[in-house]
Amino acid sequence: MSSEMLKLFFDSFLETLLMVGLSGLIGALLGIPLGVTLNVTDAHGILPHPMFNRVLGLLVNAVRSTPFIILLVAVIPFTRLITGTSIGTAAAIVPLTIAAAPFVARLVESALREVDSGLIEAAQAMGATDAQIIRKVLLPEAFPGIVAGLTITLVSLVGFSAMAGAVGGGGLGDLGIRYGYQRFLPDVMAAVVLILIVFVQLVQSLGDRLVHRVSHRGQAAKPTP
């Protein structure tokens, strides 16, 4: 493989890393509060508001149920408004973030549902405010589940970022399509697939290790009876 092709691989990997990293970060910043809102406004939440919860849930489900390749095209006007273009790495981050946020929200909501209701009732009995319950009970107790959810999100974003290459989003997906498919270079396509597999394995392994660490730390912090 020539030095020029190696540079293309390196640059494409950096673009994929940028797309996944930024969209994952922004998606988490939007999705975590969204997931908390979905949980606390549920009929059995600490701030029940069934109608608001239902409307918000419908919006989240609408985005989640839209295939990413369709979402990618559907938000092109919004992408142009934000980035000034509809192609390239920066443009791909917009639909990736839109896809990530509701995905994170549902995973966070699911993690918060696993928190023991007895802990919430105990905090309420001690006079804790709703904000204190969220910050000091719900989020700390659900933290390992939230980290696991973010790991799943990042893994999904790797696949979505490759799909973004189909419409000029840059990254390894774009490299695989332009060189591996359009120029009939199967070795390039195979190398792209291999790099993506290794990348996903690294993300998953690091995420699993972090979940294991925060889970054990949380258990060590709890007083034994």
For residue 224, what pLDDT band results from cuts at 50, 70 and 90? very low
Q: Which of 117, 139, 130, 128 is nearest to 46 (CA)?
A: 130
Question: What is the per-residue pLDDT across 11-44, written as a single tens digit (0 to 9) for each?
Answer: 999 999 999 999 999 999 999 999 999 999 998 8
Q: Which two tokens stand for residue 174?
A: 């774009």
pTM of the model: 0.89
Domains in the chain, CATH or no CATH each:
3-220 (1.10.3720.10)
CB 99 within 8 A of CB 63: yes
Q: pLDDT at position 170, please?
A: 82
Q: How far is CA 16 from each of CA 28, 54, 99, 157, rounded to the nearest angstrom?
A: 18, 35, 16, 9
Q: pLDDT at position 217, please?
A: 66
Question: What is the per-residue pLDDT across 69-104, written as a single tens digit (0 to 9) for each?
Answer: 899 889 999 999 999 888 888 889 999 999 999 999
Q: Where are the beta strands (DSSP E) in 65-118?
A: none
CB 158 within 8 A of CB 23: no
Q: Which of 97, 14, 36, 107 is nearest to 63 (CA)?
A: 97
Question: What is the per-residue pLDDT across 120-142, written as a single tens digit (0 to 9) for each?
Answer: 999 999 999 999 999 999 999 99
Q: Which two tokens stand for residue 119?
A: 């802990």
Percentage of the chain lying above the pLDDT 70 cut: 95
Q: pLDDT at position 143, please?
A: 94
Range 115-121 average pLDDT? 91
